[in-house]
Amino acid sequence: MGDKELIQSHGGSLVNRIRKDPAADKVAASIRLTQRQQCDLEMIAVGAMSPLEGFVAEADYHSICDSMRLTNGTVWPIPITCGVDDAAADRISVGDRVGLNDDRGRLLGHLTVREKYRQDKRKQAVKAYGTEDTAHPGVQVLMAEGDTCLAGPIDVVTPRHDPMFPEHRLAPAQTRSEFERRGWQTVVAFQTRNPIHRAHEYLTKCAQEITDGLLIHPLMGATKEGDIPGEVRMRCYQVLIENYYHLGHTMLSIMPAAMRYAGPREAILHAIYRQNYGCSHFIVGRDHAGVGDYYGTYDAQKIFDQLPEGGLKIVPLRFEHAAWSKRAGCMVSGKTFPKIEGDQIFLSGSKVREMLTRGERPPAEFTRPEVADILIRAMTE
């Protein structure tokens, strides 16, 4: 990268599949997309899933499952598919132009069907998620999807009707433009689907020391039941940034992706997204994109070592678990301070939720008081 030149998008060029003239489109049929498919449609349309221009074809589907590559060799870890049920598949033929609607029947865009194929759900579950257990939220969504995949390029009229947080819903071209306006060449992205607690704050500020700017980039697409609502999380991010971050080196934007909870492979997918958004570095912490006990603590870091040299341009920053040390009087990790029994303050997510529900404030060593106030109000209303 030259002076003030941002990182290249994945695959070499940023995709844009948004068009504003649906009047000329004649459709053979229309389908309603699932919540995850709607998120994927938006991510493809705005270029966050570059180089994908639509839902993947059968050869790419199997290549992704088997080797984490598209058939052209480009790194891609999880198939992005449009599965439909048998009734929809029977009325759609290869070559058809299909209308893509949201769950309220409103038009989002169109798919030109290049292929129809049966997806191998068992294979995809084992390869992408590491399990066939339908208690896994990502596998559960996969198994509920239709068995026939429609593959082909998309043209999107509107990425989302009534989008959440439109002022923070920046597409990759927009974040790149903002980074350039700010004079940032190196940018570190922080992925989160939860409020930021003190350990997360510590990781992001360590990363800020070696980059020009920090993009706090929460996932605001489909998540699982029990996750904290997006509106609450946004209030937490905003109050934290206003009070505890340098505004000249910190930026907040949301990412409208669906959470798959696929652990290691999803960590790679999240890194690809952030490379497309213009980030040069990406924080990968403990159990990134994990759920339950399906993945090892640092599997999401180790998987980056399996990629070919040059497979991704973005640099993963691998952090160990951090917590407040009473003896040191600060945040520490296994690399910065010895582990002493009873010294570190660590609270599980379930323990924190129990405290909040009772109106109890988590300790200041775990979360900032302004964030605790927002969470207590949300949990007790």
Catalytic residues: 193-194
- Based on DSSP, count helices (H) and strands (E) in the chain, helices before strands: 12, 15
CA–CA distance from 210 to each of 221, 282, 319 (Å)?
A: 29, 12, 14
**Do 185 and 5 contact (CB within 8 A), yes or no?**
yes
Q: Kindly report the number of other CB atoms within 10 A of residue 308's CB atom.
A: 10
Task: Report the C-alpha dihedral over residues 153, 221, 192, 230, rounded to 10 degrees.
Answer: 160
Q: Which residues contact 377 (CB under 8 A, 6 or more apart)?
A: none
**Do 228 and 195 contact (CB within 8 A), yes or no?**
yes
Q: Which residues contact 318 (CB under 8 A, 6 or more apart)?
A: 284, 298, 301, 304
CA–CA distance from 276 to each of 15, 47, 52, 195 (Å)?
A: 9, 7, 11, 24
Q: Which of 67, 5, 129, 54 is nearest to 311 (CA)?
A: 67
Alpha-carbon torsion (6, 213, 291, 330), positive or negative? positive
Residue located via tokens 């958004």: 277
CA–CA distance from 355 to each of 220, 350, 375 (Å)?
A: 25, 9, 10
CA–CA distance from 18 to each of 133, 158, 327, 369, 375 (Å)?
A: 37, 7, 55, 42, 37
Which residues does residue 217 pair with via DSSP β-bridges, in sequence order?
191
Token duo for residue 357: 């529900």
What is residue 363's DSSP assignment?
P
- What values do phi and psi take at 293, rounded to 5? -120, 35
**Do 189 and 278 contact (CB within 8 A), yes or no?**
no
Token duo for residue 367: 């979360």
